[in-house]
Amino acid sequence: MTTYILRRILLSIPVLFGILFATFTLGRLIPGDPCRAILGEKATDAVCNEFIHRHGLDKPILVQFGYYVNEIAHGDFGRSFRFSKPVTELLIERLPITVELSFAALIVSLVVGVPLGILSAVKHNTWVDVITMLWANTGVSMPVFWLGLMLAYIFALALKDTPFQLPPSGRLSPGLITVPFYEIWNLELTPGTTTFTVLNFFSRMNILNGLLSTDFKLVKDAAIHLILPALALATIPMALIARMARSAMLEVLGQDYIRTARAKGLTQRVVVLKHAFRNALLPLVTVIGLSLGSLLGGAVLTETVFNLSGVGRILYEAITARDYGIVQAFTVVIAVFFVVLNLLVDISYAYLDPRIRLN
């Protein structure tokens, strides 16, 4: 097991370098002067010369890459000329929003997708199965942005003045100000330290912050605002998971030991949940890994539709503003994030699958 994990981690190192190289290359492919592409059109020659020297842009391309890797290893993602602040600061500001959204969507897709998949496998070839699978197929086919608009229309306007009314945009009700949990805990933190930054990062996830500071009004308000975007974002992974759960269950249910279990007179519920489901879990873990990509990509669209100021939205703004510094940095960060998550998924896969564990 340990060897497997180690090998898996070692294998992802070249991929990480590849990601850095790819974004580095993308950055160099930007038409025009790299300095003005990053610092904006108004940068003076003096500023540009300094910039070129600092980033080694006058050196051979491989050396430039070295500079780039070195800067990123030190957490320096450069500056955004649009927001005139370091990209790192923007990341700390915006990433929690996207993480919170994606996580909520993942939970929604699991909570709904897995039971649906199991149900449809158990009721194989009945109308339940047909409807579920038709629904799952429709789910993967719907544009996220369109679904978002439709959801906003239904829940904010059509269901107005009913208990089901939900806010169409934003993260919190207007005027609600959040206090970071570490201030409620009276932790004496110095801004600038790593602890502060990490805690600050987590305090920006409203639900987590609300739970940690036992402010349930905040939790409720944040959750209400999160429902619609999470639902829209969850549709595709939900459908993927339901489909995968169904086929995995079908395969397992057809096997001999299940027939034996049934023959022993165990109830359907026990057979399905205790014997079959556990073995169908494996492929599900893989599909969660696959869903992460669509979650992070979909976040760009969902955040645009629901006016959430996460990584996706800022990326979109940066693109239209030609703020290449942000685009480059955020792409790296999200890709690294994605690789690490997939690594964790793989490791848990190994943990669940004895064949790999014992090797």
Options 70, 348, 357, 359; binder of other proteins; rule CB under 8 A? 348
Torsion from C-alpha of 140, 169, 206, 235, nearest 10 degrees: -10
The verdict on 126 binding other proteins (CB under 8 A) reads no
Residues 224-263 that bind other proteins (CB under 8 A): 250
The verdict on 30 binding other proteins (CB under 8 A) reads yes
| Total interface residues for other proteins by CB under 8 A | 124
Return d(Cα 295, Cα 304) in angstroms, integer. 14
At residue 80's C-alpha, the angle toward residues 318 and 12, to 5°, is: 80
Torsion from C-alpha of 315, 320, 322, 326, nearest 10 degrees: -10
Return d(Cα 115, Cα 297) in angstroms, integer. 25
Return d(Cα 55, Cα 33) in angstroms, integer. 14
Return d(Cα 114, Cα 46) in angstroms, integer. 59
Find the shortest distance in angstroms from Cβ 200 to other proteins.
6
Find the shortest distance in angstroms from Cβ 66 to other proteins.
17
Find the shortest distance in angstroms from Cβ 331 to other proteins.
5
The verdict on 186 binding other proteins (CB under 8 A) reads no
Of 95, 1, 102, 111, nearest to 346 by C-alpha is 1
The verdict on 273 binding other proteins (CB under 8 A) reads no
What three-state secondary structure class fits 59? coil
Burial of 53 per CB tally in 10 Å (0-12, 13-18, 19+) = exposed
Handedness of CA 266, 272, 274, 279 (dihedral sign): positive
The verdict on 164 binding other proteins (CB under 8 A) reads no
Options 10, 46, 73, 358; binder of other proteins; rule CB under 8 A? 73
Pattern 140-159, other proteins, x by CB under 8 A: xxxxxxx--xx-xx--xx--
Of 63 and 340, nearer to other proteins (C-beta) is: 340
Beta strands in the chain (DSSP E): 79-80, 85-86
The verdict on 91 binding other proteins (CB under 8 A) reads yes
The verdict on 67 binding other proteins (CB under 8 A) reads no
Q: With CB under 8 A as the contact rule, which of the stretches 45-53, 173-181, 209-217, 262-270 interacts with other proteins?
A: 173-181
**Is the distance from CB of 342 to CB of 292 less than 8 angstroms?**
yes
The verdict on 70 binding other proteins (CB under 8 A) reads no
Pattern 288-307, other proteins, x by CB under 8 A: x---xxxxxxx-xx--xx-x
Task: Report CA 336 to chain centroid distance, whole Å.
Answer: 12
Of 92 and 266, nearer to other proteins (C-beta) is: 92
Options 6, 7, 18, 359; binder of other proteins; rule CB under 8 A? 18
Which amino acid makes up residue 185?
Answer: W
Residues 195-224 that bind other proteins (CB under 8 A): 195-198, 200-202
Of 266 and 283, nearer to other proteins (C-beta) is: 283
Of 197 and 264, nearer to other proteins (C-beta) is: 197
